[in-house]
Copies of this chain bind each other. A is one copy, B any other.
Amino acid sequence: MLDVQNDPASVPVDIDRVGIKHVHFPLMVLDRAQGRQHTVAQVEMGVDLPACFKGTHMSRFVEALQDWSGILDYPSLKHLLNDVQARLDAQRAWISFSFPFFLERAAPASGSKARMDYHCRVAGEFQGSRLLFSLEVEVPVMTVCPCSLAICDQAAHSQRAVVRVQTRNKGLIWLEDLIELAQESASSPVYALLKREDEKLVIDNAFKRPCFVEDVVRNVSHELEKLTQLLWYRVEVESQESIHNHSAYACIERSLTGMKA
């Protein structure tokens, strides 16, 4: 059978990334408390393609994924990237897994436990023999508005905000560390389960620590600067304002090595 893909490109331009998107795959991810947890990921995979080839061989991405262990840790992600690089005869290979990640949280007064989910992403890229990782966590928090607390009769509006942290780093970092750091940056963490005594404690504490999105983004940035493994990071905070129909937003992005995002 003809292999049209191996023809030279009629427009001879190198392609940065070619591959597949919106693949779903069951996964086991590392979990500091329990060792491993089951989840389901949305997967993207890609390679570079030089001008001398018309097309890549898309089915080989799926074959590499099917033959993989499905356990996401440093050696297995490296192994999968190596395998993709070899099967596709590529210089650069790139894989991204986006998934819900669960952590058990205890309510602050009652100690009642429940699972919270955080949307996370782990990506790896082989550039020749250099291996880079990208992480992303989305962490819901509560913000109590400092302005309204200052001007109102002991009242203030509060709302859910989302902290998104993206990093590039040489090795893998625990997702739990990024989640923890984001969770502590605002007026309060949010919870899956709160009994009445917990609700009282959470709100009384949150009103003692009012935060603008500007405060939250700075708090996270301040903590991220302490992590020596990072090459680059971006923090975004989006607050679903309870008195408005739009969001308040703040972003800090830093390269720690002059490296480009």
Q: Which residues of A contact B (CB under 8 A)?
A: 1-5, 9-11, 13-26, 37-40, 44, 46, 49, 54-56, 58-59, 62-63, 66, 99-100, 102, 112-117, 140, 142, 146-148, 150-160, 188, 190-197, 199-200, 202-204, 206-207, 212-215, 217-219, 221-222, 238, 240-253, 260-261
Contacts and interface: CB of A to CB of B under 8 A. Distances in A.
Contact of A66 (B114, B159, B191): B114
Give the residue among A15, A39, A99, A221 with the most B Cβ atoms within 10 A: A15
6 contacts: A15-B217, A15-B251, A15-B252, A17-B251, A158-B159, A192-B245
Nearest to A205: B155
A242 B16 contact: no
A148 B200 contact: yes
B192 A23 contact: yes
B46 A243 contact: no
User: Of residues A58, A202, A252, which shows the largest number of chain B Cβ atoms within 10 Å of its Cβ?
Assistant: A58
A66 B193 contact: yes
B147 A4 contact: yes
Contact of A190 (B100, B160, B242): B242
A18 B152 contact: no
A188 B243 contact: yes
B156 A192 contact: no
A134 to B, nearest CB: 16
Given A26-B39, A40-B39, A214-B49, A20 B151 contact: no
Contacts of A15: 214, 217-218, 250-252
Contacts of A100: 24, 40
